[in-house]
Chain A
Amino acid sequence: MIPLGYYIGLSAILFTIGVVGVLTLRNAIVIFMSVELMLNSVNLSLIAFSAYSGNPAGQILVFFVIAVAAAESAVGLAIIIALFRNKLTVNIDEVNILKW
Chain B
Amino acid sequence: MNLEQIAFLILAVAAIASAILMITRRNPVTSALFLVFNFFIIAVLYLFLRAQFIAIIQITVYAGAIMVLFLFVIMLLNLGDDKLLKWKLNSAKTISVLLGIALLVEVSYFVLHFTSTEGMSPNAESIGTVESIGKVLYLNYLFPFEVTSVLLLAAIVGAIFLAKKKFE
- Please state if B133 and A67 are interface contacts (CB–CB under 8 Å): no
A16-B107, A24-B96, A51-B50 are known contacts. Are A56 and B132 too (CB-CB below 8 A)? yes
Provide the residues of chain A in CB contact with B5, threshold 8 Å.
Answer: 1-2, 6
**Looking at the complex, which one of B16, B49, B69, B162 makes contact with A79 (CB distance below 8 Å)?**
B162
A19-B100, A62-B54, A81-B73 are known contacts. Are A10 and B15 too (CB-CB below 8 A)? yes
Encoded as 1 (CB less than 8 Å from any B CB) or 0, chain A from 19 to 52 comes to 1110111110110111011001001100110111
Encoded as 1 (CB less than 8 Å from any A CB) or 0, chain B from 47 to 84 comes to 01111011001100110011001100110110100101
Provide the residues of chain B in CB contact with A53, threshold 8 Å.
Answer: 121
- Please state if B73 and A29 are interface contacts (CB–CB under 8 Å): yes
Q: Total A-B pairs in contact (CB under 8 Å)?
A: 238
Q: By DSSP majority rule, is chain A's interface helix, strand, loop, or mixed? A: helix
Encoded as 1 (CB less than 8 Å from any A CB) or 0, chain B from 140 to 156 comes to 11001000100110111
CA of A89 to CA of B78, assembled, Å? 11
Residues of B within 8 A of A (CB-CB), count: 90
CA of A56 to CA of B130, assembled, Å? 11
A interface residue numbers (CB < 8 A to B): 1-10, 12-21, 23-27, 29-30, 32-34, 36-37, 40, 43-44, 47-48, 50-57, 59-60, 62-64, 66-75, 77-82, 84-86, 89-91, 94
8 tightest A-B contacts by CB? A54-B121, A23-B96, A71-B155, A20-B100, A21-B23, A78-B162, A12-B107, A78-B159
